[in-house]
């Protein structure tokens, strides 16, 4: 059973810790929207309609180059939020967002969100905190697709996933195709290098389950200087 709108907003990192009256003010203005798997929430370049808070499901945030090449920026799972930046800078959506599976989202219109911020200044401060954290993540993505070999970038990505999971064994949250999009390459290259890491005893793969067998070796691979 889907939690109530107020419950979702209360546990969403963007709004977590806000006073109850601030949450209620946002919930009053939030409109429920539902999306099927593969349905676009909004396209890069669209005028910003507002903020989306995910109550159920996962979405992929991605950019597409003029020649059609796609780079995945992030996967967000409920409870989470997308489209925070254009709420404040007056610009259009900087990336596209598509539902990975069935999604229930609550959309708070830009004008309505600004009204709440004026009435409850703590909301703006909380949003800035979370947006700053996401900006740091985007900077790390830029670094991962710009510097180093594919092996180096893949090793860094696996170590980052390990840190997020908090254990050396974890289910892979991305398909090989999604990981390739995140690292700016193609699926075959990711699959080939994961196979090499396994053959070298750095990790073990079983379906979507991954276990790091030699974290030190993987760290050394991630830190190897480019020739």
pLDDT tens digit sequence for 38-66: 999 999 999 999 999 999 999 999 988 77
Best CA proximity match to 193, nearest among 141, 157, 140, 139: 157
Average pLDDT score over residue span 4-33: 94
CATH superfamily of 5-145: Jelly Rolls (2.60.120.10)
pLDDT band at 30 (very low <50, low <70, confident <90, very high): very high
pTM of the predicted structure, to 2 decimals: 0.68
Res 1 pLDDT > 60: yes
Q: Please check whether residue 55 is in contact with residue 104, taking contact to mean a CB–CB distance below 8 angstroms.
A: yes
Domain boundaries, the chain: 5-145, 147-223
Joined tokens for residue 161: 């996933």
Which pLDDT tens digit goes with each residue over 137-156? 776 666 666 667 888 889 98
pLDDT band at 130 (very low <50, low <70, confident <90, very high): confident
Tell which wins on pLDDT, 35 or 138: 35
CATH number of 147-223: 1.10.10.10
């Amino acid at each position: 059973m889907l939690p109530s709108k107020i419950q979702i907003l209360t546990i969403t990192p963007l709004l977590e810790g806000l006073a109850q009256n601030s949450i209620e003010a946002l919930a009053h203005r939030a409109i429920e929207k539902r999306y099927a798997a593969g349905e676009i929430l909004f396209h890069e370049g669209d005028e910003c309609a507002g903020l989306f808070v995910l109550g159920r499901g996962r979405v992929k945030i991605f950019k597409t180059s003029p020649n059609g090449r796609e780079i995945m920026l992030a996967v967000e799972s409920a409870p989470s939020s997308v489209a925070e930046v254009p709420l404040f800078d007056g610009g259009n959506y900087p990336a596209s967002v598509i539902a990975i599976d069935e999604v229930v989202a609550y959309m708070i219109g830009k004008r309505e969100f600004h009204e709440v911020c004026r009435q409850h200044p703590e909301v703006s401060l909380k949003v800035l905190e979370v947006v700053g954290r996401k900006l740091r993540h985007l900077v790390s993505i830029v670094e991962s697709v710009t510097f180093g070999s594919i092996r180096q970038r893949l090793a860094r990505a696996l170590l980052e996933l390990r840190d997020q999971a908090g254990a050396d064994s974890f289910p892979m949250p991305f398909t090989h195709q999604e990981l390739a999009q995140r690292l700016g390459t193609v699926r075959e290259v990711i699959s080939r290098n994961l196979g090499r890491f396994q053959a070298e005893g750095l990790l073990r793969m079983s379906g979507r389950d991954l276990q790091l067998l030699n974290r030190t070796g993987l760290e050394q691979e991630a830190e190897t200087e480019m020739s």
